[in-house]
Amino acid sequence: MHSKPHLKKKVVCLGGGTGASMVIRALEGQSDLSAVVSMFDNGGSTGYLRRELDLPPVGDLRQCLIALTQKKELAALLKHRFGKGFLRGHNLGNILFAAAIEERGFEKGLKCLERIFEISGKIIPVSLDNSSLMAILENGKTIKGEEEIVNCRDISKIGLKKLYLSPAAKANPKALAEIKKADFVIIGPGKFYTSLVSNLLVEGIAEGLERSKAKKILVCNIMTQPGNTDGFTVEKFLSETEKYIGQGVVDHIVFNTKKLSPQMSKQVKKIFVGAEFVGYDKAILKDKKFVGADLLGLELKPLNPSDILIKGVNQRTMVGHDPKKLARVLSKIINR
């Protein structure tokens, strides 16, 4: 008698390109993966192409394509960032996306690239609407744009009154369908307001998460973001997320418990002034909802000197999750 074939769990990664692509790398081959990707970036090469060519932001889509492709040599080329000339600061993957969209339109262009790169999953924009992320601080000051919000040093100090999309953006029906069918939805990691919460502001996404029978896992950031999430603890990241999707919607929050060596910590803090490891009350380790583990990637990612279109120290991070460590923790939750 033959045993039934093992069916892979359907997992949706919801977030920005860096975080979603890292989760994809962690779970590649173990799960039926879909990436529902943020579409509000206005910084760097992505922002430049968005303004100059009137294109949707493609940087986060590119990172997920790289994570999902079976053609790893081509993926390495997509990461290439030009170091000189009129293309300096631009990424080859972004330019390829721009060409595909101009040639075939947004959705057909994305599908074309998915076929060329033989991706093992789905890449779905969270919304097809052209919208900007906006923030109103407690003192009434308005900040327009993801890049400007990321680099605002006043959000933690003054307080955030409201975060919204202008004009309002509706959920891509395909994104809602994936969330509905999912066994698990993994939210984050990534820049909290711009990569994570921005998706939850899209009309239909929060409601879709609440209605979905999927287990929701929030992957907490390893370090705070100066000016945006100063002083945030694991518990604070959870409570702030719940403001947008409702209390009790998150089933598990996965977080890092490991610290850098004093020498590495000093190196990081020289570049990211004000960034701290996200703390937590040890009492939460007794609660099954909170899953703490060593998730720290111990190899610091150097900043690319060709990355000249990026403004502000909050744009890139040197410290991230180790995909293998994260894979072990997520796999235990998903396959238990």
What count of other Cβ atoms lies within 10 Å of the Cβ of residue 48?
Answer: 15
Token pair of 216 as six digits: 């929701």
Q: Assess whether the previous peptide bond of 167 is cis (omega < 30° from 0).
A: yes
In the prediction, which pLDDT does 187 show? 97
Amino acid at 149: I
Contact residues for 133 (Cβ-Cβ < 8 A; gap 6+): 40, 144, 145, 146, 149, 163, 164, 165, 193, 194, 198, 201
Per-residue model confidence (pLDDT) at position 17: 76
CA trace torsion 263, 269, 270, 271 (10° rounding):
120
Cα–Cα nearest to 230, from 241, 218, 243, 221? 221
Indicate the helix (H) or strand (E) that contains 114. Answer: helix 106-116
CA-based max dimension of the chain: 70
Which residue ranges of the chain lie beneath pLDDT 50? 1-5, 313-315
- Which CATH architecture fits 10-334? 3-Layer(aba) Sandwich (3.40)
- CA-closest candidate to residue 176, choices 63, 8, 14, 330: 14
* DSSP code, position 230: T
Residue 98, pLDDT score: 94
How confident is the model at residue 5, as a pLDDT? 46
State residue 263's pLDDT score: 84
pLDDT tens per residue across span 204-220: 999 999 999 999 999 99
